[in-house]
Amino acid sequence: MAAGEYLDYLAVERGLARNTIAAYRRDLTTYCAYLERAGIVSFEEVTRQVVEGFVADRRDGGYSDASVERALAAVKGLHAFLVRDGAVAQNPTAALRLPKKAERLPEYLSVEDVSALLDQDFPEGEMGLRDHAILEVLYGCGLRVSELVGLDVGDIHIDDGFVLVRGKGSKERLSPLVGSAARALMLYVTEGRSRLAAHARGTETSAVFLNKNGRRLSRQAVHAICERYGRQVGLVGLHPHTLRHSFATHMLAGGADLRVLQEILGHADISTTQVYTHVDRTQLTEVYLAAHPLAHR
């Protein structure tokens, strides 16, 4: 019950995204099962050692550092909530720190790779128009895949040069829509979408990107589209998020202001955007080592 109330609090009061809530639900279900196996029937009985044992159990189970960190964050949040709610007197996780994340630079494509991906021959007809528009908008607007599939027709303002995006926590922002991304999207919306929408049976949808049955396209379908067209130009295993990372990296390399980039990407914290400065520095170092005559002395 307490875990359920905490998840409701995260959804209603904190406005966390559904995917985050679902992940926390899985983590807390696993945590409660661990407590039950340990013979603990009340959260009052939980000690710091018990929580550390849970973390060790996750590590021994072969879970990644990111998964363990997320699980511990969920557990810490739960116990803090229980104290605030007056359900327990002490928080056994108060002195526990989240493990420091190993810095992992995001993968991104070169400008040449992006050009090869977007300039390839797409199939004729509505599916080809849709797939081309998807890839163009993912890269051209720097969208998350969930934001892309969540777009409605009313969110598209091609004449004004922007698209209304609903990001994490249902926060809205404007993303510029110009150039080849705007042209590909306009071509799909005016010539391709109506053909796909005609396949819908009974219920109409306001979604921009539709599947062959005229319904809103799923995230899994977008993953498959990226993988398929990436493979055709030698980019095996291409992920939609790689296009978002490529957008951010290329914008920063082109002189974009970090605060502006933060706004376009929908990052709540500037530190999330700053990771791309590290990517750019890495690129600069590689160029230096390759070009400077005394770099390897």
Q: Digits of tens for pLDDT over the chain (297 positions)? A: 478 888 888 888 788 888 888 889 999 999 999 999 989 989 999 999 999 989 888 888 878 778 888 899 999 999 999 998 888 888 999 888 766 555 555 688 999 999 999 999 999 999 999 999 999 999 999 999 999 999 999 999 999 999 999 887 778 999 999 999 999 999 999 999 999 998 887 777 899 999 999 999 999 999 999 999 999 999 988 999 999 999 988 988 888 888 888 888 888 777 777 777 666 555 555 555 666 566 555
Distance CA 156, CA 171 (A): 17
- E strand or H helix that includes residue 166: strand 162-166
Nearest-CA neighbor of 150 among 214, 221, 195, 216? 216
Q: Which residues of 51-76 are buried (b: 16+ CB within 10 A; e: fewer)?
A: beebbebbeeeebeeebbbbbbebbb
- For 74-115, the DSSP string reads HHHHHHHHHHHTTS-S--TTTTPPPPPPPP-PPP---HHHHH
CA 67-69-75 angle, to 5 degrees, is 105
Q: What dotted CATH number matches 2-84?
A: 1.10.150.130
Place of tokens 């799923």: 218
The DSSP bridge partners found for residue 165 are 173
Every domain range in the chain assigned CATH 1.10.150.130: 2-84
What is the spatial distance between Cα 193 and Cα 189, in angstroms, rounded to a whole number? Answer: 5
**Which segments of the chain belong to CATH 1.10.443.10?**
111-288
CA distances from 283 to 142, 286, 291 (A): 20, 5, 12
CATH superfamily of 111-288: Intergrase catalytic core (1.10.443.10)
**pTM confidence score:** 0.62
Q: Which residues belong to the active site?
A: 144, 168, 241, 244, 267, 276
